[in-house]
Structure formats: structure tokens, C-alpha cells
């Protein structure tokens, strides 16, 4: 019998996994609860090593022209303007893509879907919600609901890429350890051209402030502005027109009200699954780890999981390597999720919201000094673009 891999979830992580396995000729069944690929405006940053990986399947060539090439990233102060600007060209010897690509994540899943159409051995079932999973010594079973019917599927291994609320993780009784921040994050998108009003704005701007920090991110047609909300504000109060206008007007006063295209309010967590592998059940992406969006590491880290895991699954099922190789996936990627993704994003939040003027000055002086020294700036960019994390993972036996 030919190996058959089951995947739960058609987000970027499930889709990348299906593509890598499908390209290697492996039979895959991917189950997605929604009726189509998500078009939500979520991740919008692709880091250089993610583009290097996607390039192996021609995907970077497809998505780069659909996004914006961000050569520079900035650390700003909401009132003083630019504190430090980093030139990603400093990474030209570290990556084939020395820039951040500002591009909506759905463009990646859409591009993968086009490639999967040419692979009859990869089946994508929409409107199919995974309910539970189980396993025996030689296989996995998945029970799903498809338009009122119960579907039972068998496979050799199963990838739970079904996001933060993963049914696979819950069914496998794997704890999701960590915490939820008391405040929620608000993302507003607008067609207002901030770059005409805020001098030297780049496509990626982290703006610290002791009262209300924000992040200004450009995608091809819009600016996205991320704000924290206060724990005592209700969801309804945050989302009123008055409150939305007040936040944007406070950032940059305008005679006209801002036109907002999307408004998203969401809870933010720092959590890592206690196990990424339980026998034949493997977790990847948001089902395995979630973090705050400061640094753009959620989707990128998930795509790195998918490449790491699928490479090992292929070695086990096609080259007969020992199954214990899959434990190395957990050792490598769980370590990165804890020591690197969770730690960096938590530190980014702490720095951007810092209230103590002495500490703020210290952080800003350090950023200025780092940006002014090309060797230090390159080291900083290797960290923020996740190149160091991949090198660290490689070093884990």
C-alpha cells in the first residue's frame, strides 16, 4: 500500500505541507472546514528564508510580483519619527531574497491551490470539519463531518495544521501551554496614504509610544494599522465609528474622517503545544504555537515547520528512515517556537509599549547604534528575519 498522509486545515501551513508531499508523489487528503480558502487579511509579511523555501516550488516568483518588496524596515517613535532604519540589502549574502515581502497570506494559498490542481493524488476536501483523531501502531484515523455526513479516513500519518483552535490538538489531548494577553489587538486597514504625511515612512514601521504604540504596514492596496486596546474597553466600544476614528485621528489628525476597509479585533496569545508529535499525529503552524504579531513570525514560523516536517516525513515513508526522525522535528521546531518565536515576539511587545523613559531611551539608543554599524545591523536583521532561528534549528540533533 502506498503511503497516505492526512492533513487537517487549508491555511498556509496545511497547503505548503500538501504541496511538498504532493510534489514528491505522496498521496495526500487535506480536509478544510470552511467552504473555500480563507481570504482574510491576516499575515502580510514574508521573511527572506520563507521566500527562499517557497522558491523551490516556484512560489516566490508567483507571489513577489503580487506584493511589495520592502527593502527597509523602521523602528519609529510615534512623536519623534524614525529612530532606526534597517536596510535588508545587508543580507544579500545570506539569502536570495534580501527583503521582506509585504503580501497578503491568501495569495500564497491561492498560488499553491493552482499547483495542486495538477496533482490528482492530492485531494482537497472543503466543507469537511475534522472532529476527532486516533491512531494504532500502524495508522491514523480521522473522523470528520461533511455536509451532515460522517466521514472516516485512514492514513499513515496526520498533520494537524488546523490553526489556533486545533481539533487535532484537542483530540490528541495535547496541552497548549502559555497565556493570553489581557488586551486585544485592533487592525484597521485604510486606503489613506500615510506616506504622503509621515516623512520617510517605509513599508514596515514599528512605532513605539508609552501611551499607545502602533504598527504601520503597507500591503499593495492598503495601509494596515495595528493598535493595542485597553483591557477595560469592551469589544463593542472599540469597534464603534467614534472609537476607530479617534484612534486614527490621534495618530495623524485629518480634516476628513478616515475610510476604513477592514476592522479586526482579536485576542493575542503566547502559547506552545507541549508536544508537536504524538506517535503518528504531528502538529504544525498555529496549532502548535501562537504568538503576538509583532515581528511577523506566526505564519513564517508555521511555513518553516511545514518544510522541516515534510522533509522528515518523506525520509521516513520514501527512504525507510527510522520514525524517530520525527522526534527531531519536535526537538527542532518546538525549541524554536519557545526560545525564538515566543521570546522575540514577547520582547518586541515589551519594547514597543515601554513606559519607563529611561528604559525607552536605552532601547532607542541601542537601536540607533545597531543601525549605524553595518555588522551589528546585519546581525540584527538575521535575527528579525528568522535566519538565525533556522541555523539554530539545524544545529539541534
Ligand X SMILES: Cc1cc2nc3c(=O)[nH]c(=O)nc-3n(C[C@H](O)[C@H](O)[C@H](O)COP(=O)(O)OP(=O)(O)OC[C@H]3O[C@@H](n4cnc5c(N)ncnc54)[C@H](O)[C@@H]3O)c2cc1C
User: How far apart are alpha carbons 112 and 110 in whole angstroms?
Assistant: 5
Between 215 and 360, name the residue whose CB sits nearer to ligand X.
215
Between 4 and 224, name the residue whose CB sits nearer to ligand X.
224
Task: List phi, psi (to 5°) of 325.
Answer: -55, -30
Can you tell me which of 132, 250, 266, 374 binds ligand X, judged by CB under 6 A? 266
Between 351 and 360, name the residue whose CB sits nearer to ligand X.
351
Cβ at position 237, least distance to ligand X in Å: 19
Between 115 and 364, name the residue whose CB sits nearer to ligand X.
115
**Is the four-CA dihedral 100, 106, 112, 114 of positive or negative sign?**
negative
Cβ at position 131, least distance to ligand X in Å: 7
Between 363 and 385, name the residue whose CB sits nearer to ligand X.
385
Is the Cβ–Cβ distance between 296 and 105 less than 8 Å? no
Between 45 and 190, name the residue whose CB sits nearer to ligand X.
45
- Told to check if 285 binds ligand X by CB under 6 A, we report yes
Task: List phi, psi (to 5°) of 178.
Answer: 145, -150
Task: List phi, psi (to 5°) of 117.
Answer: -60, -30
Which residues within the stretch 350-379 sit at the binding site for ligand X (CB under 6 A)?
Answer: none
Cβ at position 325, least distance to ligand X in Å: 22
Task: Give Cα separations from 72 to 56, 91, 105, 199 (angstroms).
Answer: 25, 12, 20, 14
User: How far apart are alpha carbons 335 and 288 in whole angstroms?
Assistant: 12
Can you tell me which of 245, 264, 321, 335 binds ligand X, judged by CB under 6 A? 264
DSSP 61: H
User: How far apart are alpha carbons 330 and 104 in whole angstroms?
Assistant: 28
Which string of x and - marks every residue 157-176 that binds ligand X (by CB under 6 A)? ----xxx---x---------
Can you tell me which of 5, 6, 7, 10 binds ligand X, judged by CB under 6 A? 10
Is the Cβ–Cβ distance between 135 and 279 less than 8 Å? yes
Which residues within the stretch 54-113 sit at the binding site for ligand X (CB under 6 A)?
Answer: 105
Cα-trace Rg, the chain: 21
Cβ at position 17, least distance to ligand X in Å: 9
- Told to check if 298 binds ligand X by CB under 6 A, we report yes
Which residues within the stretch 125-154 sit at the binding site for ligand X (CB under 6 A)?
Answer: 129-130
**Is the four-CA dihedral 321, 324, 330, 335 of positive or negative sign?**
negative
Cα of 394 vs its chain's centroid, Å = 20
Between 48 and 163, name the residue whose CB sits nearer to ligand X.
163
Choose the binding region for ligand X from 6-14, 93-101, 253-261, 350-358 (rule: CB under 6 A): 6-14
DSSP 99: S
CB-nearest residue to ligand X: 11
Which residues within the stretch 206-235 sit at the binding site for ligand X (CB under 6 A)?
Answer: none
Q: Which residues contact 65 (CB under 8 A, 6 or more apart)?
A: none
Between 68 and 364, name the residue whose CB sits nearer to ligand X.
68
Can you tell me which of 8, 82, 381, 393 binds ligand X, judged by CB under 6 A? 8
Interface with ligand X (CB under 6 A), residue total 35
Between 8 and 214, name the residue whose CB sits nearer to ligand X.
8
Choose the binding region for ligand X from 173-181, 293-301, 365-373, 381-389 (rule: CB under 6 A): 293-301
Q: What is the DSSP string of 326-377?
A: HHHHHHHHHHIIIIIIIHHHHHHHHHHT---HHHHHHHHHHHHHHHHSHHHH
Closest of 70, 85, 274 to residue 176, by C-alpha = 274
- Helices 12-23 and 105-116, axial angle in degrees (round to 10): 30
Is the Cβ–Cβ distance between 162 and 7 less than 8 Å? no
Cβ at position 133, least distance to ligand X in Å: 10
Cβ at position 356, least distance to ligand X in Å: 27
Q: Which residues contact 80 (CB under 8 A, 6 or more apart)?
A: none
Which residues within the stretch 171-200 sit at the binding site for ligand X (CB under 6 A)?
Answer: 187
Can you tell me which of 5, 7, 9, 73 binds ligand X, judged by CB under 6 A? 9
Positions touching ligand X (CB under 6 A) are 8-14, 31-34, 38, 42-45, 105, 129-130, 161-163, 167, 187, 264, 266, 285-286, 293, 296-300, 302
Amino acid at each position: 500500500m502506498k503511503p497516505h498522509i492526512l492533513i487537517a486545515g487549508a491555511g498556509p501551513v496545511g497547503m505548503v505541507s500538501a504541496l511538498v508531499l504532493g510534489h514528491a508523489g505522496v498521496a495526500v487528503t487535506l480536509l478544510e472546514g470552511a467552504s473555500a480558502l480563507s481570504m482574510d487579511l491576516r499575515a502580510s509579511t514574508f521573511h527572506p528564508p520563507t521566500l527562499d523555501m517557497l522558491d523551490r516550488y516556484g512560489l516566490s516568483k508567483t507571489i513577489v510580483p503580487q506584493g511589495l518588496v520592502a527593502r527597509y524596515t523602521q523602528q519609529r517613535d510615534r512623536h519623534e519619527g524614525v529612530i532606526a532604519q534597517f536596510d535588508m540589502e545587508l543580507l544579500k549574502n545570506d539569502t536570495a531574497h534580501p527583503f521582506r515581502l509585504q503580501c497578503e497570506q491568501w495569495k500564497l494559498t491561492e498560488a499553491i491551490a493552482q499547483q495542486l490542481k495538477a496533482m490528482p493524488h492530492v485531494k482537497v476536501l472543503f466543507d469537511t470539519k475534522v472532529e476527532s483523531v486516533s491512531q494504532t501502531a500502524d495508522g491514523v484515523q480521522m473522523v470528520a463531518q461533511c455536509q451532515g455526513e460522517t466521514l472516516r479516513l485512514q492514513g499513515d500519518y496526520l498533520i494537524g495544521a488546523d490553526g489556533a483552535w486545533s481539533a487535532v490538538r484537542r483530540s490528541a489531548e495535547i496541552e497548549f501551554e502559555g497565556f493570553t494577553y489581557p488586551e486585544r489587538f485592533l487592525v484597521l486597514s485604510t486606503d489613506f496614504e500615510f506616506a504622503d504625511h509621515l516623512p520617510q515612512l517605509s513599508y514596515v514601521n514599528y512605532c513605539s509610544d508609552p501611551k499607545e504604540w502602533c504598527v504601520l504596514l503597507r500591503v499593495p492596496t492598503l495601509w494596515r494599522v495595528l493598535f493595542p486596546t485597553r483591557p477595560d474597553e469592551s469589544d463593542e466600544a472599540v469597534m464603534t465609528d467614534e472609537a476607530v476614528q479617534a484612534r486614527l485621528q490621534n495618530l495623524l489628525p485629518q480634516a476628513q474622517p478616515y475610510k476604513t476597509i477592514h476592522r479586526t479585533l482579536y485576542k493575542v496569545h503566547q502559547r506552545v503545544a507541549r508536544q508537536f508529535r504524538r506517535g503518528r499525529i504531528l502538529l504544525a503552524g498555529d496549532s502548535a504555537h501562537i504568538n503576538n504579531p509583532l515581528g511577523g513570525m506566526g505564519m513564517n514560523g508555521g511555513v518553516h515547520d511545514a518544510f522541516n516536517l515534510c522533509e522528515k516525513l518523506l525520509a521516513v515513508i520514501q527512504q525507510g528512515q527510522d520514525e524517530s526522525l520525527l522526534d527531531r522535528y519536535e526537538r527542532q521546531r518546538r525549541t524554536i517556537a519557545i526560545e525564538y518565536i515566543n521570546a522575540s515576539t514577547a520582547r518586541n511587545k515589551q519594547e514597543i509599549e515601554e513606559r519607563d523613559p529611561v528604559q525607552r531611551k536605552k532601547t532607542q539608543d541601542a537601536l540607533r547604534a545597531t543601525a549605524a554599524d553595518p555588522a551589528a545591523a546585519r546581525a540584527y536583521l538575521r535575527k528579525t528575519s528568522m535566519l538565525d532561528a533556522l541555523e539554530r534549528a539545524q544545529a539541534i540533533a
